[in-house]
Amino acid sequence: MKNTQPIAGPMSLLAKLQSIQIGGDPGGKIAKKDLIRIIRNLATLVCNGVSIPQALDTILDDAPYKKYRKILRALADNVRTGGALSGGMKKFPATFSSLLVHQVRVGEQAGMLQQTLSRIAEQLEHSSKIKSFIIKKITYPAILVVAGTGSVIFMLTCVIPTFQKMYEESGAVLPGITQAVINLSDFVQTNGISILVGIGILVAAIYFSYRNPVSRLWIDKSLLRIPLLGNWLRNLAVLQYIETLGNLLESGFNLVDALPAAANSVGNRYMRKRLMGLHNAIRQGQRFSTAMQKESRLFPPVVKQLVVIGERTGRLSEITREIRNHLRDDVQKNTTAVLGAIEPVLTASLAVLIGCILLAVYLPMFDMIGNTRK
């Protein structure tokens, strides 16, 4: 019997044409805000009895998500053919992290997929809110720095040369501060390109140093030693750790497996290394709370005490939720405090710098006016 190949009819041709998207790849990476909504919608639909493929098809019908149809269809097709949702997600590492895929896999095995998806969406939402909150708070100081730097550069390259020419023509005797500012202006104008190249080299050096594991470990450790900033970074890392740990425990992970995954979710490499030490201590038979007590500088006292209570009552996964709520509030308060301390310093520094330049510019003029009146 001969094998026959199906002839591409009008419907299959139409399907191929519909799969073509003008203006880009219909796959790619799903944006974080869209990923949160997709996972949240998927959890809601599955929780109400809709099958995973049908739920993904329903999400795909929503206009904002059509641009992700390659990924969503691949996930649905993978489940339709007997595969797992986690297996389909694993094919798109740019969108679904290995930790997320692992969480979904454990949720599938434990029969808690809808709860796991809800927790993942909640964690992503809170992480996104914290990130947005931090960006919002640093926007004003960043604007201050950019505006102040721009003002100083403008004065040194445009304003100072004009007054310099006027004072040279009048033969005025320049005070020391004025001469210093003029010398700085000459240096900036003469070596402008060299300064830009130097800044570029410095930025590149910092960038590549941060990509090197050894130097990044040293940088992250040094950042933790900076007053105010170090405490804020430490609390942020602990929040990432506890948030992921609690999510994993609620998804069915045991503590030994959850600890290294939670440690790897922390961005600060030095904190990650120290937190990974907790996993090694647990493997050697120590209690989680005992291992935390030995790392007294990493965790706030409230966190350590709540973990002790969670272990004693057998409610560790529930206690982590209370710890998360406490740390989220703490991180937001610390962010406000740190930036609240930085903003006045930046404002005062820029005001003093610009004030000194203006004083240097107008001081000879005041002397000239005073001499004229005598």
DSSP string, 247-296: HHHHTT--HHHHHHHHHHT-S-HHHHHHHHHHHHHHHTT--HHHHHHHTT
Judge whether 46 lies within some domain.
yes
> Residue 39: what pLDDT?
92
The per-residue pLDDT string of the chain (374 residues; one tens digit each, 9 = 90 and over) reads 444 444 344 333 333 333 333 333 445 689 888 999 999 999 999 988 899 999 999 998 888 888 898 999 999 999 999 999 999 999 998 899 888 888 898 888 888 888 889 888 888 888 888 888 888 888 888 898 899 889 889 988 888 888 888 888 777 778 888 889 899 989 988 888 998 999 999 999 988 988 888 899 999 999 999 887 888 888 889 988 998 888 888 878 888 888 888 888 888 899 999 998 888 888 888 888 888 888 778 888 888 889 899 888 888 888 888 888 888 888 888 888 878 888 888 889 888 988 888 888 888 877 666 666 55
- Nearest by Cα to 263 from 247, 245, 246, 281: 245
Contact (CB, 8 A) for 27 and 68: yes
d(CA 10, CA 338) in angstroms, rounded, equals 64
User: Rounded to 5, what percent of the chain is helix, strand, coil?
Assistant: 80, 0, 20
Judge whether 47 lies within some domain.
yes
> Residue 327: what pLDDT?
87
- Nearest by Cα to 243 from 355, 163, 323: 323
d(CA 109, CA 282) in angstroms, rounded, equals 24
Judge whether 58 lies within some domain.
yes
Judge whether 117 lies within some domain.
yes
pLDDT in tens, 306-321: 989 988 888 888 888 8
> Residue 55: what pLDDT?
93
d(CA 373, CA 295) in angstroms, rounded, equals 73
Structural domain including 44 reads 26-122
**At residue 348, what are phi and psi to the nearest 5 degrees?**
-65, -40
CATH of the domain at 100: 1.20.81.30
Residue 203 DSSP label? H
CB proximity list for 285: less than 8 A, separation 6 or greater: none
> Residue 164: what pLDDT?
85
Judge whether 76 lies within some domain.
yes
d(CA 44, CA 251) in angstroms, rounded, equals 17
Handedness of CA 109, 111, 113, 119 (dihedral sign): negative
> Residue 257: what pLDDT?
86
Judge whether 65 lies within some domain.
yes
Counting the structural domains of the chain, the total is: 1
Contact (CB, 8 A) for 263 and 272: yes
> Residue 222: what pLDDT?
92
Judge whether 330 lies within some domain.
no
Angle between helix axes 229-250 and 98-109 (nearest 10 degrees) is 30
Contact (CB, 8 A) for 249 and 317: yes
Judge whether 222 lies within some domain.
no
